Structure 1
Amino acid sequence: MDATNKSALVFFDIDEGRELKTDEAFETNAWDLAFQRYTVTMNGGGGNPTGQVRVAVLKDQGWDSLTAAPAEGYQQDASEPVFSGVEGGWYFYNLSVHRLSPREELLYVVRSSSGQFFKLRMLSYYDSAGTPARLSFRYQRLPEPTTAP
């Protein structure tokens, strides 16, 4: 995900696994996550009050062992985006070398704009050449929880 533009959001539809152009994101309201440099917001709460996206933050949860979406713990962005504030945010910042590193112990479950569930883990803030704000992440669809969040 190329979030190198300091003044523009990059919108992502997790249901379709694709980036949306800004006008399409606003017209359809089908975006789930938006990226701007290291900031990740969701289509719900502070990111967009009309959006329905919610995210649960799971700590020390293995990727393979999460086989269904949790039934509770979902939040929307408030004064601080969930990806930045809950459990300290999705990254560590190393001040001595000025580099961001994903927090591998955090796993996110996204309830998308269409009501589907996906597990998501942030992988990197840099591309293979070391360019910042070229985020990569892994995601996979999950079965719905037994009780609606």
Structure 2
Amino acid sequence: MLLSLFLSLFVFMACDPADEDEPQLPLVAEMVVDLSAPNDVIDRGTGQVVEEKPFQYYSLSENKLLSENESWDLAFKGTTIRTNAAKNVRATLVDGVFQEIKEVPETATFTLDTEAELAIPTGSGNGWYSYNPSTHAIKPIPGKVILLQTASGNYAKVEILSYYKGSPSDEELDPLTDEGATYTFQFVLQPNGTTKFE
């Protein structure tokens, strides 16, 4: 009798709904608006740096700026985006519509920043942006998405939406007066280590 009561209690406890896994909530894109990351001040006559500006270090998992010695994922300064090689953050660029990229492609090749080469290339047309020498406008290349393996080992996709404060439209943008090096971007972070973004 006592054994039967014990077994019944065990089955009841094992089937307690409170112990069941919570349903997974759908992943949503986070938006970071007007992250200021000014470039070094350069003397136009000599090309020399007259004032060095710091990188801005961003953690996707914490969705905030951190200090350089913490577990950040991306660092921004001017048009340069670095990854945290010290924390094994790897990146690659892929072509596609941000919302339609549902998982990390099997063919994606992630790389670390090195002294010789950045995982997210810089320079007009080389990575995430293009530069128009006539208007001096810097614009994200449509369909360029950054994939990351973050400091915590999870995967994320990132799309730069604007390089100017207030995200002016093409018609409104005046690169000579609008504040540049001010990032607006969206990202989706998969927190469970899988390669799927849904």
TM-score by length of 1: 0.81
Aligned residue in 2 for 1:63: 98
Whether 2:37 is the aligned partner of 1:3: answer yes
Query: Runs (4+) of structure 1 moved beyond 6 Å?
Result: none
Residue 17 to residue 113, structure 1, CA distance change in 2 (3 Å): same
* 1:38-90 deviation line (CA, Å, top 9, x unaligned): 1100001xxxxx3210112112x122221122344111123232222597111
Quote the residue 1:47 is aligned against: none
Query: Which residue of the other structure, out of 121, 143, 154, is the alignment partner of 1:84?
Result: 121
Larger Rg, first or second structure (1 or 2): 2
For this pair of structures, how many residues does the alignment match? 135
8 Å CA contact 2:93, 2:127 repeated in 1: no
User: Which of 122, 134, 139 does residue 187 from structure 2 map onto?
Assistant: 139
Instruction: Name the residue aligned to 1:33.
Output: 74
Counterpart residue type for residue 57 of structure 2: F
**Aligned with 1:98 (options 136, 139, 151):** 136
Query: Identity over aligned residues, as a percent?
Result: 24
CA contact (8 A) 2:79 2:122 kept: no
Check the 8 A contact 1:14/1:31 in 2, yes or no: yes
1:11-26 equivalences under 5 Å are 11-20=57-66, 22=67, 25-26=68-69
Task: Supply the distance in 2 between the matched residues of 1:5 and 1:93 (Cα, whole angstroms).
Answer: 15
Question: Is 1:122 aligned to 2:160, yes or no?
Answer: yes
Does the CA-based 8 Å contact 1:52-1:112 persist in structure 2? yes
CA distance in 2 between partners of 1:8 and 1:145 (Å): 32
* Alpha-carbon distance in structure 2 between the residues aligned to 1:95 and 1:77: 28
Q: Is the 8 A contact 1:82 1:89 kept in 2?
A: no
Which of the two has greater strand per residue? 1
**Please, which runs of 5 or more residues in structure 2 have no aligned partner?**
1-34, 41-52, 169-177
Amino acid paired to 1:132: G
- The answer as to whether partners of 1:35 and 1:41 remain within 8 angstroms in 2 is yes
Aligned Cα root-mean-square deviation (Å): 2.1
* Residues 1:63 and 1:125: Cα distance change in structure 2 (over 3 Å): same
Which sections of structure 1, spanning at least 5 residues, go unmatched?
45-49
* Residue pair 2:60, 2:189 contacting (<8 A) in 1 also: no
**What is the alpha-carbon distance in structure 2 between the residues aligned to residue 93 and residue 85 of structure 1?**
11
Q: For the structure 1 residues 85 and 127, does the alpha-carbon distance in structure 2 shift closer, same or farther, using more than 3 Å as the test?
A: closer
Residue 73 in structure 1 maps to residue 119 in structure 2: no
